[in-house]
Structure 1
Amino acid sequence: MMVKKPSTTSGTTAAEEFTSIGTMTAKQFKAARAWLDLSQQDLATETLVGRRAIQEFELGNRDPQPRTLRDLREALEKRGVKFLFIGGRAVGIVVSERIEGPAGRK
Structure 2
Amino acid sequence: MSDQLISPVQCRMARAGLGLTAGALAERAQVSKVTLSDFELGKRSPMPRTIAAIRAALEQAGMEFIDANGGGAGVRLKAQTSDAIISLEDLNAENDN
Pair in the same fold by TM > 0.5: yes
CA distance in structure 1 between the partners assigned to 2:71 and 2:41 by the alignment: 19
- Which AA in structure 1 matches 2:13? A
Q: Which moved more, 1:64-73 or 1:81-90?
A: 81-90
Give ranges in structure 1 of 5+ residues lacking alignment: 1-19, 99-106
More strand by share: 1
Give ranges in structure 2 of 5+ residues lacking alignment: 81-97
Runs ≥4 in structure 1, deviation > 2 angstroms? 20-23, 86-90
Cα deviation, 1:11-44, whole Å, max 9, x if unaligned, reads xxxxxxxxx2642000000000011010111112
Report the structure number with the largest CA radius of gyration.
Answer: 2
> Does 1:37 pair with 2:19?
yes
Q: Superposition RMSD on alpha carbons, in Å?
A: 2.2
Count of residues paired in the alignment: 79
More helix by share: 2
Between the aligned residues of both structures, percent identity stands at 33
CA distance in structure 2 between the partners assigned to 1:29 and 1:88 by the alignment: 20
